[in-house]
Amino acid sequence: MKLHSIPFGTTDWARVPREEKSAQAGQAFWRTRQFGELRVRMVEYTPGYVSDHWCTKGHILLCLSGELHTELADGRCFTLTPGMSYQVADQAEPHRSTAPQGATLFIVD
């Protein structure tokens, strides 16, 4: 990833509008900033969240609170707790997530 043409700035995430996104169960709320091709998000999953799709987009994801369960298409499963992160490239490994207790994430993609 090469970052260019992004002047120094700060983000007060509480002031970024929250958008509800689709889910198989529970709710997902995104606060999104776009910097050229770079998308930066603060994402909240309510307790009981279940993704409604397999994702093939690359991400760098940091768990801020709660617990995130991520399943890869090959059957491997991972659990993130606060302070843990994962990274995956575009089109590398389809993944989907659940948050039985809810979770707050910081995601760059």
Full domain range(s) for residue 62: 17-108
**Residue 30 covered by a domain:** yes
pLDDT score, position 28: 98
CA distance 43 to 53: 16
Q: Is the pTM of this model over 0.85?
A: yes
**Residue 100 covered by a domain:** yes
**Residue 80 covered by a domain:** yes
Cβ-proximal residues to 43 (8 Å cutoff; 6+ apart), any chain = 28, 29, 30, 31, 104, 105, 106, 107
Q: Tokens 């409604």 correspond to what residue?
A: 52
Number of independent structural domains in the chain: 1
What CATH number corresponds to the domain at position 34? 2.60.120.10
Q: What is the mean pLDDT of residues 12-39?
A: 96
Q: Please provide the average confidence, as pLDDT, over all residues in the chain.
A: 96
pLDDT score, position 59: 94
